Copies of this chain bind each other. A is one copy, B any other.
């Protein structure tokens, strides 16, 4: 088992990474305010892991309120959140309850936001079961629900009290989701660690074959990079924004197609290609580096072109005010592999050229 610590003073917490950790309640016991938790999961993950987790909790003498919600990004909304509150209140959970998020990024975001707002805030623990959640969303305390007008528009910064990443759980992950998770792993290399990027190029096949030591290393290194950034800029006033590489474009893709059509990681993959193209156009990034990024994403089976939306639709979705300079929207750009920077003065024609060059076909019609 590897341990990474997020250094946030009184809000700091451990991240445990290894095989078979999902039922290691002994890791959680010292952190619980009382011998009662609420486990939030979805119908898919419940079938795989809920019984095991609930039994382990019970054996440890911890009372377990179960909340099972429908699967999918389109349920990351107020309606589902309210269902969670209904259950917590019906079961008379008080401010000492800890919420355990058992599932992927949607469950983590929902559970985290429920924990941030239930009775003005209760503790929560992340038990991420997808690669995407293990390498990204479970760490850093960003919680949210979606709004019809935008993804993650309603939320809070609320740090978990622990993250337990069981890489064994990735064995049950559909390959499409494994690939989507690799998008964020590749992102971490691209923006901050060229050596890690090199390693990913050399180990892509091992990761796709789900070799445990490769996965453990990829999760650990991703989490270390993210934990460092979060410790320096918890509330995203600067540095942390670099983690949004590919996300301005990616969110537009997700929103334009309707949440859940493309997986988050798929949208981010195409978005990173766009952001790298934009960086190249602006003279920041060598075209060969942009190509290396595109090839690595392609190698792990991720889309490298955006869906065929109108350019104006893309601009609308990115909230670009077309009367002003496109620069009103801030982009994360690359200077080289391993070094990202913020850009907020992108000329509209340049942005339009990138969108034209990098969109056209959806992954389902290739």
B157 and A144 contacting across the interface, CB-CB below 8 Å:
no
Q: Which residues of chain A from 149 to 176 have a CB within 8 Å of any chain B CB?
A: 149-150, 152-157
* Chain B CB within 8 A of A257 CB: no
State the CA gap A157–B121 with chains docked (Å). Answer: 8
Interface-located stretch among A83-91, A277-285, A351-359: A83-91
Among B92, B118, B150, B156, which residue has its beta carbon within 8 angstroms of that of A117?
B156
With a CB–CB cut-off of 8 A, which chain B residues contact A321? 92
Among B82, B92, B120, B147, which residue has its beta carbon within 8 angstroms of that of A319?
B92
B82 and A155 contacting across the interface, CB-CB below 8 Å:
no
Chain A interface secondary structure, helix, strand, loop or mixed?
mixed
B78 and A155 contacting across the interface, CB-CB below 8 Å:
no
Question: Which residue of chain B lies nearest to A119 when distances are taken between CB atoms in the complex?
Answer: B153
A149 and B117 contacting across the interface, CB-CB below 8 Å:
no
User: How many copies of this chain does one complex carry?
Assistant: 2
* Chain B CB within 8 A of A264 CB: no
With a CB–CB cut-off of 8 A, which chain B residues contact A82? 78
* Chain B CB within 8 A of A251 CB: no
Among B147, B157, B319, which residue has its beta carbon within 8 angstroms of that of A85?
B147
Chain A contact-residue range equals: 20 to 34
* Chain B CB within 8 A of A5 CB: no
* Chain B CB within 8 A of A235 CB: yes
State the CA gap A113–B321 with chains docked (Å). Answer: 28
* Chain B CB within 8 A of A142 CB: yes
Q: Which residues of chain A from 214 to 263 have a CB within 8 Å of any chain B CB?
A: 235
* Chain B CB within 8 A of A116 CB: yes
A149 and B86 contacting across the interface, CB-CB below 8 Å:
yes
Could you show 30 A-B contacts with beta carbons less than 8 Å apart?
A78-B78, A78-B82, A85-B147, A85-B154, A86-B149, A89-B147, A89-B149, A89-B150, A90-B149, A92-B319, A92-B321, A113-B117, A116-B156, A117-B117, A117-B154, A117-B155, A118-B153, A119-B153, A119-B154, A119-B155, A120-B142, A120-B143, A120-B144, A120-B152, A120-B156, A120-B235, A121-B156, A121-B157, A121-B235, A156-B156
Residues on A facing B (Cβ under 8 Å): 78, 82, 85-86, 89-90, 92, 113, 116-121, 142-144, 147, 149-150, 152-157, 235, 319, 321
Complex A-B, nearest 5 residue pairs according to Cβ-Cβ distance, in ascending order = A89-B149, A120-B155, A117-B154, A120-B157, A120-B156
